[in-house]
Structure 1
Amino acid sequence: MATLAPSRPPMRDRLGRLDVRVSPYLYIAPFFVLFALVGLFPLAYTAYVSLHDWHLIGGQGEFVGVQNYVDVVQQPRFATALRNTFSIFLLSAVPQLVAAIAIAAVLDANIRARTFWRMGVLLPYVVAPVAVSLIFSKLFADQSGMINTLLGMVGIDAIRWHADVLASHVAIASMVNFRWTGYNTLIFLAAMQAVPRDLYEAALIDGANRVRTFFSVTVPMLRPTIIFVIVTATIGGLQIFDEPRLFDQLGQGGADRQWMTMTMYLYELGWGAQKSFGRASAVAWLLFVLIVVIGLINFALTRRIASAGADGKGGR
């Protein structure tokens, strides 16, 4: 008796199955294609340039290997730029995180005109970085700045904001905090509004006040958002350029490069007196590796703290 061959599914069913399998990849493909063009390709090309004696005027030179990296690391300005970058980053990231959480907690409370205040904290982020830098450079002027004028009214000697290392870092960090605190505040505010209100009601029934509720309920629920803000602040803080570049009229990071950051040093190597794209690319790759390493360390530490807090909460 002859057996009948199994009939093939209709074309419509086969196309439907193919669509289910392929369409998700087609939907996300534009992002990866664009990222490869504007992200991966420049990154790989920068690594290629960093291995050559490449100049702005002369173009590509001979292959020198890691010599550009060795020359850059041995220059004293590299250590100065690295110190300044970390100093400004810490002076801006830590106060910014604390202030953003505190302001978000106030905006999350039952206050009048909440929409007005929530829109207000975002205004500094909308202002152009050039305008913010120019205004703050005048506020922190050594001779006629408003900050020194106010300090003189209370009997405090004028601070040399453009001469002392720490003072210049504090002034530049103030610009960064002014621009980015409101942005991070809205991120924390959105996370706070997603916290179930039943938790707050249970805490109030147990007799916890607002401060205890904030640290025992709000902060633990914000751990994923805190991790996100810390990682993004690290990536942005180590690439700071606009604020220190426009802090004075010369844009060189001070007479002794006392506030020159890594990105400013990169700019000076590529478009300054040396005009060495090879060394500038080497600095760019060193900065990239540094950001990745510090970002991974921050992510691992915050994840460990978050998991430890969750385990402790579950144990209780």
Structure 2
Amino acid sequence: MATCSDTAASPARGAAPGSAPKGSVPDKEAKRRAKLSRRWQRDARWSPYAFVLPFFLLFAAFGLFPLLWTGWASLHQVELTAPTDMDWVGLRNYTRIFDDDFFWNAAQNTLTIGVISTVPQLMMAMGIAHILNYKLRASTFYRVAMLAPYATSIAAATLVFVLLYGRDYGMINWVLDMFGIDPIGWQDDKWPGQFAVSSIIIWRWTGYNALIYLAAMQAIPQDLYESAALDGASRWRQFLHVTLPSLRPTILFTVVVSTIGASQVFGEPLLFDPNKGHPAARSTSSRRSACICTSRAG
């Protein structure tokens, strides 16, 4: 008499007991999952490069290529009316710039304006950010207002400051006259002119740096302040021993960016200068204006 075990189908040769036959639905599902896993690993490996590829393409087209082309063109005599007609001159352009007294005067002015504008700017930005870090009414309005100078056109802002620093009808000299101080030639004298140009830069960039510091301050854990308060630390000591150490990377970033910006200053001195970048302007001419004037003269 046949039993159930005799009538049951025997497993395929070479297949483990209990495994699905080759070509069955579970076997196809396993292959599909393995294929998807390999595709996912490939996508995870190459997708970051795909995301950053547009940036590098734009940087190569509008950043790297112009930089290399400018370096190559600096070794030639180039006319703006015929930019493709270049005559090889080697290092003559650099020799002419470094032998020009106007260039060194402009480099000194750039360094002085950079120091005068960067140090007070970052200190004021730190103080403003520390105040805005408290829960104040209309704090959003204050933050938006801090960006207003940064959003203002350089030309418009500089022209307003030209009126403020006017020798005969400027508001600054009018206030000084109230205290018995003689009018100052802000656009004619060296140190007053550099101070005036620095004030434009300070007015324009202080709010921007203040918002950077504010964002970094809000990322500091409140537990640190609570622990310092429990230890009896005043708000000033909390600022010195908690806030400032936590802001070191941000402070370094703003110092580097402000230094780079100070070395590239051009619009403010050019528009504030009554001679508009002419080599006779010795007080506020910047390094970039010196290079442009020297290249035009050549």
Q: Which of 70, 91, 95 is the aligned partner of 2:116?
A: 91
Q: Which of 53, 58, 61 is the aligned partner of 2:77?
A: 53
What SS does the corresponding residue of 1:86 show, helix, strand or coil? helix
Q: State whether structure 2 residue 197 is matched by structure 1 residue 172.
A: yes
CA contact (8 A) 2:107 2:286 kept: yes
What SS does the corresponding residue of 1:54 show, helix, strand or coil? strand
Tell me the distance in 1 between the aligned counterparts of 2:86 and 2:225.
65
Q: CA deviation at 1:165?
A: 0.7
Q: Which of 224, 241, 247 is the aligned partner of 1:216?
A: 241
Q: In the alignment, what sits opposite 2:20?
A: none
Q: Which moved more, 1:34-43 or 1:102-111?
A: 102-111
Q: CA deviation at 1:241?
A: 1.1
Q: CA deviation at 1:62?
A: 2.5
Q: Which moved more, 1:111-120 or 1:70-79?
A: 111-120
CA contact (8 A) 2:273 2:284 kept: no
Q: Which of 18, 29, 40 is the aligned partner of 2:42?
A: 18
Q: State whether structure 2 residue 136 is matched by structure 1 residue 111.
A: yes
What SS does the corresponding residue of 2:250 show, helix, strand or coil? helix
**1:146–1:253 CA distance, 2 compared to 1 (3 A):** farther
Q: CA deviation at 1:172?
A: 0.4
CA contact (8 A) 2:273 2:285 kept: no
What SS does the corresponding residue of 1:61 show, helix, strand or coil? strand
Q: Which moved more, 1:163-172 or 1:10-19?
A: 10-19
Q: In the alignment, what sits opposite 2:152?
A: 127
Q: In the alignment, what sits opposite 2:54?
A: 30
Q: Which has the larger radius of gyration?
A: 2
What SS does the corresponding residue of 1:246 show, helix, strand or coil? helix
Gaps of 5+ in 1: 1-7, 277-316
Q: Which of 207, 213, 219 is the aligned partner of 1:188?
A: 213
Aligned length: 268
Q: CA deviation at 1:155?
A: 1.1
Tell me the distance in 1 between the aligned counterparts of 2:151 and 2:87.
45
Tell me the distance in 1 between the aligned counterparts of 2:61 and 2:209.
29
Tell me the distance in 2 between the aligned counterparts of 1:13 and 1:218.
47
Q: CA deviation at 1:225?
A: 0.4
Tell me the distance in 2 between the aligned counterparts of 1:130 and 1:226.
29
What SS does the corresponding residue of 1:160 show, helix, strand or coil? coil
**1:115–1:17 CA distance, 2 compared to 1 (3 A):** closer
Tell me the distance in 1 between the aligned counterparts of 2:266 and 2:281.
17
**1:85–1:234 CA distance, 2 compared to 1 (3 A):** same
Q: In the alignment, what sits opposite 1:226?
A: 251
* Paired AA for residue 157 in structure 2: V
Q: In the alignment, what sits opposite 2:282?
A: 257
Q: Which of 54, 57, 62 is the aligned partner of 2:87?
A: 62
Q: State whether structure 2 residue 222 is matched by structure 1 residue 197.
A: yes
* Percentage of pairs with the same residue: 43
> CA-to-partner distance for each residue in 1:40-89, whole Å, 9 max, x for gaps?
10000011001112222454332222121111100111101100110111
Q: CA deviation at 1:111?
A: 2.6
Tell me the distance in 1 between the aligned counterparts of 2:37 and 2:135.
55
What SS does the corresponding residue of 2:78 show, helix, strand or coil? coil
Q: Which moved more, 1:110-119 or 1:222-231?
A: 110-119
Tell me the distance in 1 between the aligned counterparts of 2:220 and 2:40.
40
